[in-house]
């Protein structure tokens, strides 16, 4: 009821800019509080801003620019693959989960003015990316070796698919049907044309669209992250001497 009233009273662009403004304020407050907490650990605004700006820009380009998005034949027209988590993964492994989250948040903010879903699609992507990147970054922060890398990859891979499956069925599709006024039959027709195995918008939709799409996307993201980070991780630590235990990770040659 409340969402319907918002839809009638505000345009999508107005909602997007309101959410963008609120998000910017929340981000500034959050970072200020974090910097005060990190004072004892020599938090540097300049260093943090440089890291976030570089990786946030890369992630935003991969998220917003259509040329970097991939469509698959078994997916409906409203679904596509994008690989914006790669810079966030690299930032998380190099500088920690907080930096990774801010990178994810920035690429979401940049996309908000272009939202056509009252920011719900972007919020869902924020949750999906956080469920994917942050567990791996936390695990690697505690286990800084090749074992930690692959444990983090495995946990994040599975968790992201679970989160995406539940949100698509219980949040995203109901939003499109109840708030955006997309009829069930229209969405069902789009899905069944793309993938004839889909007979309903719950278990079939998850098993034959959501899960396969995320398996493919997650696998590509993790492979790219592994090889890119392996090649550049020493360069990312140029600001201070690289400790042996922190650099042995993806640098270890496979025997």
Tell me, what's the pLDDT at 236?
75
pLDDT grade, residue 47 (50/70/90)?
confident
Angle at 73 between CA 70 and CA 77, to 5 degrees: 70
> What is the Cα–Cα distance from 103 to 52, expressed in whole angstroms?
6
| Structure token digits, residue 143 | 């286990």
Is the per-residue pLDDT at 14 higher than 60?
A: no
The mean pLDDT value of the chain amounts to 80
The reported pTM is 0.79
Three-class SS of residue 86?
Answer: helix
Is the per-residue pLDDT at 65 higher than 80?
A: yes
Output the 3-class SS for 172-222.
HHHHHHHCCCCCHHHHHHHHHHHCCCCCCCCHHHHHHHHHHHHHHHHHHHH
Tell me, what's the pLDDT at 93?
93
Tell me, what's the pLDDT at 253?
43
Tell me, what's the pLDDT at 213?
95
pLDDT grade, residue 196 (50/70/90)?
very high
Which domains, ranges and CATH numbers included, belong to the chain?
Answer: 2-247 (1.10.1760.20)
Tell me, what's the pLDDT at 123?
86
């Amino acid at each position: 009821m409340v969402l319907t009233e918002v839809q009638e009273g505000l345009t999508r662009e107005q909602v997007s800019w309101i959410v963008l403004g609120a998000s910017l304020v929340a981000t500034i407050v959050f970072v200020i509080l974090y910097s005060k907490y990190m004072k004892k650990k020599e938090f540097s605004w300049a260093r943090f801003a440089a890291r976030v700006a570089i990786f946030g820009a890369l992630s935003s380009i991969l998220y917003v620019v259509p040329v970097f998005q991939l469509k698959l034949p078994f997916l409906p027209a409203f679904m596509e693959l994008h690989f914006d988590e790669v810079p966030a993964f690299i930032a998380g492994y190099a500088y920690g989960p907080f930096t990774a989250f801010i990178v994810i948040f920035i690429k979401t903010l940049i996309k908000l003015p272009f939202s056509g879903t009252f920011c719900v699609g972007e919020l869902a992507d924020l949750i999906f990316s956080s469920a994917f990147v942050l567990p791996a970054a936390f695990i690697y922060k505690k286990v800084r070796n090749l074992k930690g890398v692959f444990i983090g990859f495995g946990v994040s891979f599975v968790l992201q698919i679970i989160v995406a499956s539940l949100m698509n069925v219980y949040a995203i599709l109901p939003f499109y049907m109840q708030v955006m006024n997309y009829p069930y039959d229209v969405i069902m027709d789009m899905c069944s044309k793309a993938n004839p195995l889909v007979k309903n918008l719950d278990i079939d939709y998850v098993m034959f669209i959501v899960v396969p799409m995320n398996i493919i996307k997650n696998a590509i993201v993790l492979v790219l992250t592994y090889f890119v980070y392996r090649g550049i991780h020493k360069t990312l630590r140029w600001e201070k001497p690289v400790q042996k235990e922190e650099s042995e990770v993806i640098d270890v040659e496979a025997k």
